[in-house]
Amino acid sequence: MKLFVFGSSLTSCYWNGAATYYRGIYKNLHRLGYDITFAEPDIYKRQQNRDAGQIDYATVRIYQTPADLGYLLAEACHADLIIKHSGVGADDELLETEVLKCRTRRTKAAFWDVDAPATLARVEADSADPFRFLIPQYDFIFTYGGGPPVVDHYLDLGARNCFPIYNGLDPNTHHPVDPDPEAACDLAFVGHRLPDREKRVEQFFFAAAELAPDLSFVLGGEGWGSRSLPHNVRWIGHVGTGDHNRINCSARMVLNINRESMANVGFSPPTRVFEAAGAGACLITDSWTGIAEFFEPDREILVAKSAEDIVRILREISIQQTREIGRAMEKRALKEDTYALRAQEVHKVLQQAEWGEEEEKIRASNFGSLITEAAS
């Protein structure tokens, strides 16, 4: 089956938190026999910060937007399934409309939401939001997470279906490595400075650092350079995919802080949770509904509801206990949460769908409108 995908970036995790997810999903769909083309816009200096290495599981189309959209959409219409991810970063509204014009009984369209809580909040707050009227037209809705709350909301908006495909672990990419003394610290947090996360980073990470001036903290991610940091917090800037294992294996504990929208909805473990699991790190996460669906609190993961909880955990949990928790989390993730298993979930959904014969007249008509509208 041929897939044509529009997404933010497969080649770079620079200002692109979905990179690990995309790589894990599409690498494993390719192993199941899917022929994948992934189109990503040349924006946000991602091409100057590529970190994916060789990509042999997908044909990557780096395009200039909006100039190249006409021929890309025409190519996409030859696929069996066109996937439009949320948050491409350029011409999202246009793409959400135009990919639907490629639909025939042979060519289906999927919207794959990598930030469903934010999408749903926006759409439900504005009855005139353009995407609201497109939801029922997509053959499939996939989401990065969100569980039953997200599924219910999408179905209420007229979606034909909704399938949460959670983040996972690629053990070939994220695994234990030797610790680096230069990255040693009591607690490490890696996350870009985003409006939907900053307040929670203040409440959990920075407040914990202020409460424990004798402990050492490492902060990774873009955007923090302009913020005044506590004396015991060291900012290390952007942390590429290749450095995640080093940081996770060098810190005594690793912190996850969900963005506010995902924490409120729950059932949304981000990539960093599974990256830490793969490295065998001891992870503290902020509290959100659904944690126990993935890892057992206190045995495989530690849960904090406040900065005070984080400091208490740092002071009370021994080195031996952190190792036991990290190993237990790694074992659970390898058994239940690999991207190979996530890809199997997608494959099962697609196998059960009905695929008809191509309707050439409809397709030809759509080609003309696609090219004309994209060019204008």
Looking at the chain, the whole-number percentage of residues with pLDDT higher than 70 is 94
Give the pair of three-digit tokens for residue 339: 């991207």
Intrachain domains 2-168+339-375 and 181-336 with the same fold: yes
Q: Output the pTM of the full model.
A: 0.90
User: Domain extents for the chain?
Assistant: 2-168+339-375, 181-336
> For residue 37, how many other CB atoms are within 10 A of its CB?
19
CA distance 238 to 270: 17
Backbone angles phi and psi of 142, in degrees to 5: -110, 150
- CA–CA separation, 122 vs 118, rounded Å? 6
Per the listing, tokens 């099962």 go with: 348
Amino acid at 188: A
Domain 181-336 has CATH 3.40.1260.10: no
List the CATH code of the domain at 2-168+339-375. 3.40.50.2000
pLDDT class of 115 with cuts at 50, 70, 90: very high
Q: How far apart are CA 114 and CA 227, in angstroms?
A: 28
**Pick from 200, 322, 189, 352: which is nearest to 261 by CA?**
200
Q: What tokens appear for 297 in the block?
A: 């609190």
With a cut of 60, say whether residue 376 has pLDDT above it: no
Q: What is the pLDDT of residues 12-29, one digit of tens each?
A: 999 998 999 999 999 999
> Predicted confidence band at 356 (pLDDT cuts at 50, 70, 90)?
low
Lowest mean pLDDT: which of 155-159, 222-226, 247-251, 307-311? 222-226
